[in-house]
Amino acid sequence: MNMLEVPLEIFRYKEGEPPHHDTFTVQVPETAHVIDAIDAVWAMHDRSLVFRRACHHSSCGSCSLRVNGVEMLPCITRVKDVWDGRAPLRLDPLRNFPVVSDLVVDLSSFFQRMSAAEMTITCDAESSLPLSVDDFAVSKIPSRAVELPVNLSRFNRFENCIECAICMSACPTMATDEKFFGPAALAAIFRARQKTDSPADVAHLLSLADGEHGVWRCHSAFECTAACPQAVDPAGKIMALRRELITRRFKKR
């Protein structure tokens, strides 16, 4: 197996100490992902390195960080795809959140926003996908195909949100408006809006999106959509909410 000798420049912060970067060199297989390199640093060099990881396949969103300044999920980012072979691979925590230690940020404000958006993780789309594990099995057991609900393609994208907060880190407006709802929460509002026709619920959701720190605070950088590892397209959802708000305002007159 071909091995890579990768230098990593990792952001370090411990309470009471000034933030800085430490450089470590680790050996990882050519096929390794960035999270494997971080694991190797922790295992071989420094057990005090603080970072998050869980699923290793972009389902949990817990390992999100910045690789060479750009928000990514290190569990699905291959080292050879982001390392130029010379300069150290720079790893930093997400932006726009307080740093707890090293690569871990305090995401409580993010989850508060998601709760305010009344977003609960729903797996409707996943459970009703037309394909099942059986479709890929070598056995000749008939697949358990399920009919795709009408309009699924319209909203299943947001079901893909893994709450990694990458969009919140990529958004330049988040940097200076701490009250801004942010791309993920606004996309969650859009998703919740799609799921209801109740006038009271719609009015409540749109009132959340409306306002100084809602959809109108977005200034069209589209970085959230560019950075989203799950193709949720938060910017598109924000613009769709704006369209509905504007349409309703005109209809009132």
Partner 1 sequence: MATLNYSRIRRTGRWVDVRRRKLGMWAYALNRITGIGLVVYLYLHLGVLSMLAHGQSSWDSFTALARSPFYLALDVILLAIILIHGLNGIRVALTGFDIGVRVQKRLFVILMLIAAAALVVAAAKIFAV
Residues within the interface to partner 1 (CB under 8 A): 13, 15-16, 19, 68-70, 95-96, 98-100, 106, 172, 175-176, 219-223, 225-226, 235-236, 239-240, 242-243, 246
Q: Which residues pair with 136 in a beta bridge?
A: none
Tokens standing for residue 52: 């998050």
Helical axes 234-252 vs 199-209, angle rounded to 10°: 110
Six-digit token pair at 246? 């504007």
Radius of gyration of the CA atoms of the chain, in A:
21
Q: Which of 26, 52, 24, 48 is nearest to 37 (CA)?
A: 26
> Is the sign of the CA dihedral 224, 230, 232, 236 positive or negative?
positive
For residue 162, the one-letter residue type is: I
Please give the structure tokens belonging to residue 162.
Answer: 């893994």
Residues in the chain: 253
Query: Whole-angstrom Cα distance, residue 62 to residue 21?
Result: 22
Distance CA 251, CA 178 (A): 32
DSSP classification of residue 57: S
